[in-house]
Chains A and B, each alone.
Chain A
Amino acid sequence: MDIIDRLRDIVGERATAAPAERLCYSSDASQVRGTPDYVVRPLSTAEVSAVVGLAAAEGVPITARGAGTGLAGGAVPLRGGIVLDLSGMNRILEMDLANLAVVVEPGVIQARLNERLRPFGFFFPPDPGSANFCTIGGLIANNGSGMRCVKYGTTRNYVLDLEVVLADGSVVRTGSRTLKSAAGYDLTRLFIGSEGTLGVVTGAVLRVMPLPKARRLVIASFSSAEEAGRAVARTFAAGIVPSACEILDRTTVAVLRRCEPSLKLPDGDVLLFEVDGSEGAVAEAAAEIAALCSSSSGAAAAASVAVVAGAEEMEEIWAARRLVGAAVSRLDPTKSRIYVGEDVGVPIKMIPALIREVAEISVRFGIPAMKYGHIGDGNLHVALFIDVLDEGEKARLAGAADAIHRAAIRLGGTVSSEHGIGAARSEYMAEQVGFVALSVMRAIKRALDPKGIMNPGKLGLDDGPAGVGGSGCGARADGTPGGKS
């Protein structure tokens, strides 16, 4: 019996090998391409288990996918095989708030979870720009985080227990509902950030937090992004921990104004500091940050500082900020944002140096760069934008992205803070984590996935030279169906 027929035996009409569907599952938001042979939309752990069991028996690669909003090709089936679209497994199974926990399926959208939690006074803190459409499963697979990481940490800090279908189709639970556990290896954290290379997450017990009573937003503008970076370092050195700390360089501010003309943002390179907590504490912290930004001398001082307390105005600014990544075409419709070199991170005090290097790289390669992101945790999103119909710009883009990645590593940082390695950044794994660490990762991979069917070609885990995707805009950007890698 053909594999498609056997898949249909498991999930019925929710399995297909139709060319149009295979085409539409051949990419995420990155430049990585790989066309699946089959697409399956399971609705239960039992179905996932049966599909993975079939893949194992037949030696067919299997790639898990949430909303396909990834920026590194993590959900792209580089070697064909089966794509498991888990976005239909989207139920919130239990609200166990007495235990500060919720039980969810992997396809739950982050924002839908927070909508359900809000009336109870709780929230799930990881808050990526794609919160309105990314899935919890994707956040777990990539250890996603977002704007409030600086105080609340990453997804890793909020997963208590996972249900995972292993590479042979068996099902394992990795943790418990307790807030702490000292029972052996921490399997939960092993699977978080593993990008579907060890198993398929089919359920999660998440820890949730009480919503803060109050929030304030401090908006400060500076004469340069570098000066803004220094102000962040000064704030942290003063012992203040904001709940979010974002940079919007002047290009980003221009894009945001184009998207939302009513937004009240100052000129210059802008920092957004959010503080949360009790009413008194946030007022005090906001005043301290404002004073710190204003008090420096000369160019280091903020050109303007404003404190926003209105919930609606704050939400408008955050909503616009969430979408800015893709919005650069608003300034020039002939330019498109290409997601490469977009997620580097460095230790906080190296931020000014990173900003300086990115500016230099942008000039050297002649590729404009919009800089924004979670500067408070050292994560700078560099938005390189080009005319995609200009082959010369495309080639220079790849060089610029590579230079940005190498600069981050040289500064003691990472090529990915929250978007993942996928295929786009796998060639940097050995350089970033070291050959010994990469060998340990490969050993874990071999132990859990001896046949190498789980999302092959990702994370630099394949034996041999750890290079499959380069800067993420190389030969794989063909976009044609059937073009398996």
Chain B
Amino acid sequence: MTRDQQEAKIDQRALELCVRCGTCRSVCPAFEVLGWESKNTRGRIMVAKALREGFPPDAGVLDSLNTCTTCGICAAKCPAGANPPSIVQEARRVLVGRGVMTAAQAGFRAKVAESANTFGELGDRLGWLSDREGLPDRADSVYFVGCLDSYRYPEVAARTFEILRRFGVSLLRDEKCCGSPLIRTGSPAETVMEENLRQIREMKAKTVITGCAGCYSTLKRDYPPEFEVVSVPEFLALHLSELDLKRLDMTVTYHDPCHLGRHAGIYDPPREVIRAICRLVEMKRSREEARCCGGGGGVRAGYPDLSLEIAKHRLQDVPDGVDAIVSCCPLCVRNLSDAGAGVEVIDLIDLVARALETA
């Protein structure tokens, strides 16, 4: 059974860990923009608690729960050890189970149901792949591309696979959405998850490699632990000596995606790769302290203005004089770009590709 198939229930013990001290007020990125108590972590936990006690789930409740990006900085700072993103996600599941959801939540469900991707795209998911010959049916490692790179950043998918292929990595023939947008917004995702699982099993893959922080988090936490999940930056760092990268005369900064950083503790590998290529200057707040890009948890789809405002706040952390902002998540790249970064925002693989081209 995947975690997704378990009964939706807001655990009272998890709620009682919150003593309403207010530590999370100072870090919640949505609250920083919106300013209302219901739009910070403490308020969301009060809302989740009230829902258990029969509080009517009106629009205010939905906005409270769904403006959380699940960035997890509240959990990292909570002195009592509460896990608010998990509570928020569970509260969303409970409401969705009762048929109470926002238009954006319903939109994710409809799109994934009809197209198995988060955009409702009906085109070829492997449209970015020019050479499909010789893809092995079985491989120790497979590249999980994700919806965003498949449909919005096909060049990133192509560049990533060009490198991974050299190491014998293959692809799922009919990859589906990993389920992340559904799970984060409270909907069941077993249909797509089971289809991905079936293919991973058939390929006898022991390792799944992904370049999307959201996919990474989902494959790692929500799928059964049958295979190892490796992020692209981890893979690149492991194989640095084999890549023959040339130095580039540029200075970049690195944005830690929440689901790769705080949720998974992957901080050093992307930095190792960047430092092998060019100069790295840290953002004002980085690693465990990194601020969210505003894109996650369904916020980009559900509350686009809020999402962009959070991204603008994050961009204030960018140091002066950098040539690019590098990240390891297409959603972060997208949201920071859309917020008007002022410099190019690129995936780590783009930087690696430039260092390879120079060679």
Question: Which residues of A are at the interface with B, using a C-beta cutoff of 8 A?
Answer: 16, 18-21, 23-29, 39, 41, 67-69, 85, 87-88, 109, 130, 132-134, 259, 323-330, 333-334, 336-339, 388-389, 479-481
Are A337 and B19 in contact (CB-based, < 8 A)?
yes
> B residues within 8 A CB of A325?
21, 79
> A residues within 8 A CB of B63?
20
B292 interfacial by beta-carbon distance below 8 Å: no
Question: Which residues of B are at the interface with A, using a C-beta cutoff of 8 A?
Answer: 12-13, 16-17, 19-23, 25-26, 35-38, 42-43, 46-47, 49-50, 53, 55-56, 58, 60-61, 63-64, 78-81
Measured CA separation A28–B18 after assembly (Å): 12
**Sampled A-B contacts (8; CB under 8 Å):** A21-B38, A25-B37, A68-B25, A85-B35, A132-B26, A326-B80, A336-B80, A481-B55
Q: Which residue of B lies closest to A259 (CB)?
A: B79
Are B21 and A326 in contact (CB-based, < 8 A)?
yes
Are A24 and B12 in contact (CB-based, < 8 A)?
no
Are B35 and A20 in contact (CB-based, < 8 A)?
no
Measured CA separation A21–B50 after assembly (Å): 12
Supposing A389-B12, A481-B50 touch, asked if A337 and B22 sit within 8 A by C-beta, the answer is no
B31 → chain A, closest Cβ, in Å? Answer: 10
Q: Which residue of A lies closest to B21 (CB)?
A: A326
Are B36 and A21 in contact (CB-based, < 8 A)?
yes
Closest 7 CB pairs between A and B?
Answer: A20-B60, A24-B43, A323-B79, A69-B22, A24-B37, A133-B26, A327-B79
> A residues within 8 A CB of B19?
29, 326, 336-339
Q: Which residue of B lies closest to A18 (CB)?
A: B60
Neighbour of A324 across the interface among B25, B61, B79, CB < 8 A:
B79
Residue among A20, A326, A334, A338 facing the most chain B CB atoms (10 A cut-off) = A20
Are B13 and A333 in contact (CB-based, < 8 A)?
yes
Q: Which residue of A lies closest to B53 (CB)?
A: A480
B284 → chain A, closest Cβ, in Å? Answer: 12
Are B37 and A85 in contact (CB-based, < 8 A)?
yes
Q: Which residue of B lies closest to A90 (CB)?
A: B35
A386 → chain B, closest Cβ, in Å? Answer: 10
Are B20 and A23 in contact (CB-based, < 8 A)?
no
Q: Which residue of A lies closest to B57 (CB)?
A: A20
> B residues within 8 A CB of A388?
16
Are B50 and A68 in contact (CB-based, < 8 A)?
no
Measured CA separation A338–B21 after assembly (Å): 11
A350 → chain B, closest Cβ, in Å? Answer: 29
Are A20 and B58 in contact (CB-based, < 8 A)?
yes
Are A337 and B46 in contact (CB-based, < 8 A)?
no
Are A130 and B22 in contact (CB-based, < 8 A)?
yes
Supposing A27-B46, A323-B79, A330-B80 touch, asked if A20 and B61 sit within 8 A by C-beta, the answer is yes
Measured CA separation A69–B22 after assembly (Å): 6
Neighbour of A132 across the interface among B23, B36, B60, B80, CB < 8 A:
B23
Are A23 and B22 in contact (CB-based, < 8 A)?
no
Are B80 and A327 in contact (CB-based, < 8 A)?
yes
Are A130 and B60 in contact (CB-based, < 8 A)?
no
Measured CA separation A334–B13 after assembly (Å): 7
Are B17 and A23 in contact (CB-based, < 8 A)?
no
Are A29 and B79 in contact (CB-based, < 8 A)?
no
Residue among B19, B36, B47, B80 facing the most chain A CB atoms (10 A cut-off) = B19
Are B55 and A24 in contact (CB-based, < 8 A)?
no
Measured CA separation A253–B287 after assembly (Å): 28
B343 → chain A, closest Cβ, in Å? Answer: 26
> B residues within 8 A CB of A259?
79
Are A326 and B60 in contact (CB-based, < 8 A)?
no
Are B22 and A329 in contact (CB-based, < 8 A)?
no
Are B43 and A133 in contact (CB-based, < 8 A)?
no
Measured CA separation A27–B61 after assembly (Å): 17
Q: Which residue of B lies closest to A323 (CB)?
A: B79
Neighbour of B17 across the interface among A41, A323, A336, CB < 8 A:
A336
Are A326 and B23 in contact (CB-based, < 8 A)?
yes
Q: Which residue of A lies closest to B23 (CB)?
A: A133
